[in-house]
Amino acid sequence: MHDVSPHAVHHGAPTGFIRKHVFSIDHKVIGKQYYALALVAVLVGMVLSWLMRIHLGWTNFAIPGLHFLSSTGAPGDVMTPEYYLQLMTMHGTIMVFFVLTTAPFAAFGNFFLPIQVGAEDMPFPHFNMMSFWVTFVAFLVLVASFFVGDGPTLGGWTQYAPLSAVGAVAGPGQGLGVVLWASSIAIFCVGQLLGSLNFITTTLDMRTKGMSLMRLPLSAWAWFITSIMGLTAFAVLMPACILLILDHVAGTSFFVSSNEVINDQVLPHTGGSTLLWQHLFWFFGHPEVYIAIIPGLGIVSHVLITNMRRPMLSHRVLIYSMGALAVLSYMVYGHHMFVSGMNPFSSLAFSFPTLVITIPSTIVVLIWLGSLYGSKLRINTASLFALGFISMFISGGVSGFFLAQPSIDIMLHATYFVVGHFHMVMGVAAMFGIFAATYFWFPKMAGRMMNETLGKIHFWLSFVGTYCIFMPFHYLGIAGNIRRYSSFPDDFLQPLIPVHRWITVAALITGAAQLIFLYNLIHSRFWGKPAPDNPWEGTSLEWSTATPPPFDNFGGKHPVVYHDPYQYGVQSSVGDYVMQTSPEQVKTEREEK
Amino acid sequence: MTLAYEGSVAIMATTIPEPPKIDPHRSPDQNHSGNGGWRSLVPGDGDLQVALEYSPPPSSTAIWVVLFAITMMFAAFTSAFIVRKASQDWHTFTLPSILYFNTLLLLASSATLEVSRRRVASFMGALKSQVESPARWLYITLVLGLLFVAGQYVAWSRLRAEGLYLATNPSSSFFYLLTATHALHVLGGLGGLIYVIRKLSKLTLRRSQLVATARYWHFMGILWLYLLLLLWMKL
């Protein structure tokens, strides 16, 4: 028997192109890969929304070339109502799973969580690599449904049964399209579970000397909380998708009830429960929207603190509030089902925690506003997007108060009011969080600065643009404009068509403004000004290492942490801050509570 | 026999995670051992001594994370099971009797795994030439696990012979679904056992790896007892 060092598993920096950039086990490369995936996905999702918006504004407008995407879905380049729904489903699925989950959580979390805790890598780098590539496969499987059979599924990103479970008889894409959708999401769940495993163990076990839990930056806390939510939520969505696939391919009856008649055909299924899918889905689905937004809360706090040069009013309360959001998000999921026909008493039981969940949300916002009050905020693109996040989070959150009450929700549920609500509070807000993180951390990730002028133009166009798009949605909803319809021929909706056209124009312009960001991103990546190690004078560990960080993050050293994460507004040898790794003792102006 | 890992560092240093050195400039090769584990909460005034306590290797945290995810998955299946069982088209059937035999196999494998853990402990605690290799008991565990999976396959064949297929009735759907998902996870545990045996033969087995595998394996047994009860109940 021969001896092998127990540390033989330690991996050195890879040299080959494949191991370095493709099948990399480096969490930083994996983070960038997730970011690239999210970037591709968001472009696809945005183009889909453009197509939908054009159709909603001008129903018979022929979009040149659309028939190449689907000859049956868009004969003569005009999309059919079914194809509108198929695009809508893909827009929702791609945005929620492959953008809002991957970018703020998997992309930035992978890159910065290990660095912020002071580790060389995640504890299971091969699982981490698998996590990305599994997610990539999931994306391919989903996008493949555009090009097979009669196109992607039309059931919406929630895939309610029985429509999703009865098969091809229910319409285009309801056969193979649903199977591909459910397979894609089940695969995606595997990737996120592997990611969560790494995030949780990194946070608990890989922290460096002196890095107690309360010394973690708020972004690290947000990723940690999100990973626990992901572990719980995706572990439930995956079996739900398995059941859905079995209903399709194996003839089981989990979600289809007896004697369903669709298109004059009596279905062979018996006794299934259609509500069961909704319960399983929303048990995942509501936490999912917090999985999308909580990393944003952490990122925005981190960005704002660095730019206000002082810590939040309360570090601990902010962490506890994020934790409370995570716990409560599992208790409110039924508010998506107020009109589903479940027991009205259940509505009451779900309405109460839904109103309660506004309390931690409000506390977070108040801490932000209170901390911002009187601070000399450094205005840069990252801090502007952080402020924009707060604005969107408040505007979108306020409409949640209305929707939380079943009596009001029954009227508003199937209208554009809900569309406006969730686009602002978890769609655009989370996007602003991604933008804030990008402008803030790009120097560390790419080693170059982004262009601030272009960034500010991008911010203002996006900020004004998204309000122009999504505020009118609320008005449309109150006026009774039903959602999920591809056109509005009813008389009472005719006066609202100009509003739809306004939204479409705003969406096209705001979408085009994102090209500025794309240009800035690519141009800065190759030709931007080289970034210093600590361009924003930050205190957390990512700023104490080289730019870009070496393979083992800290260049063979292990950082030692001496301070709470946000020691700003102090007098030290370097300025008004002291870094976590600096052994310098300073008299703090403000204790972090 | 006692678990004698900690006192035997000098003899078998390659197989045992060393206790952390209190050294601010750690060598970078300890990347998989963490240093600020979750038990070491540093007080705000920055007393670093507290943070230097030994923290568990990530695999011992990770295994609980894995077991939690599996629990959530079977909780979702259980809720679907309960909802679906309430419908009128649910027909109960008698479980194939081989399942009870399989149960004994799986429980026995947990026992043999515990025996092998003790053997490994004494193996590591003594000079390796004086004690026989503990791999035998791991192999017995492996065989019992394989027999369990084979036995589950026999149970599926029995049901098929009776004309009960996946789509015949929700009760048979759930039977196949739950037992097959469990069997897949057992196969994963068998993979873990093979990994442990290989590491043991190379003398690179770490205690945390064996402990994690054992926890997973025992959890498979507990999960099986739960599933058997769920499927057996006629309520």
- Strand, helix or coil for residue A418: helix
User: What percent of chain B shows pLDDT beyond 90?
Assistant: 58
Please report residues of A whose CB lies closer than 8 A to that of B31.
10, 119-121, 552
Contact A95, A45 (CB under 8 A): yes
Q: What is the ipTM of this complex?
A: 0.92
Give the whole-angstrom CA distance, residue A189 versus residue A172. Answer: 26
Enter the pTM of the model.
Answer: 0.91
Residues of chain A in contact with residue B30, where contact means CB-CB under 8 angstroms, are 7
**For residue B170, pLDDT beyond 80:** yes
**Contact flag B62-A124 (C-beta cutoff 8 Å):** yes
> Do the chains contact at B14 and A6, CB–CB below 8 Å?
yes
Q: What is the pLDDT of residue A590?
A: 54
CB contact (8 A) between residue A209 and residue B36: yes
Pick the CATH number of A27-255+272-543 from 1.20.1440.230, 1.10.10.410, 1.20.210.10, 1.20.120.160: 1.20.210.10
Compute φ and ψ for A160, nearest 5 degrees. Answer: -60, 135
**Which two three-digit tokens encode residue A40?**
């591709």
Distance from CA of B35 to the nearest CA of A (A): 5
pLDDT, position A263: 85
Question: What is residue A104's predicted lDDT score, i.e. its pLDDT?
Answer: 97
- Tell me what the pLDDT averaged over chain B comes to: 79
Q: Domain map of chain A by residue range?
A: 27-255+272-543
| Gap between the Cα atoms of B87 and B90, Å rounded | 6
Rounded Cα–Cα distance for residues A342 and A340 (Å): 6
Nearest to A564 by CA among A328, A136, A57, A214: A214
What are A408's two structure tokens?
């009001």
Domains, chain B, ranges and CATH? 58-74+88-232 (1.20.120.80)
On whether the CB atoms of residues A540 and A302 are closer than 8 A, the answer is yes
The per-residue pLDDT for B42 is 41
Using the Cβ of A77 and the Cβ atoms of chain B, whether some distance falls under 8 Å is answered with no
Summarize pLDDT for A331-343 with one digit per residue, the tens: 999 999 998 888 8
The residue of chain A with its CA nearest to that of B200 is: A1
What is the helix (H) or strand (E) element at residue A266, kind and residue range?
strand A265-266
Q: What pLDDT score does A571 carry?
A: 86
- Model confidence at B19: pLDDT above 60: no
Whether A376 has its CB under 8 Å from any CB of chain B: the answer is no
Q: What six digits make up the tokens of B215?
A: 């926890």
User: How many degrees, rounded to 5, is the angle at CA A33 between CA B35 and CA A452?
Assistant: 95
* Residue ranges in chain A modelled with pLDDT below 50: 1-10, 589
pLDDT at B235: 63
Do B142 and B197 meet the contact criterion of CB atoms below 8 Å apart? yes
Rounded Cα–Cα distance for residues A280 and A295 (Å): 24
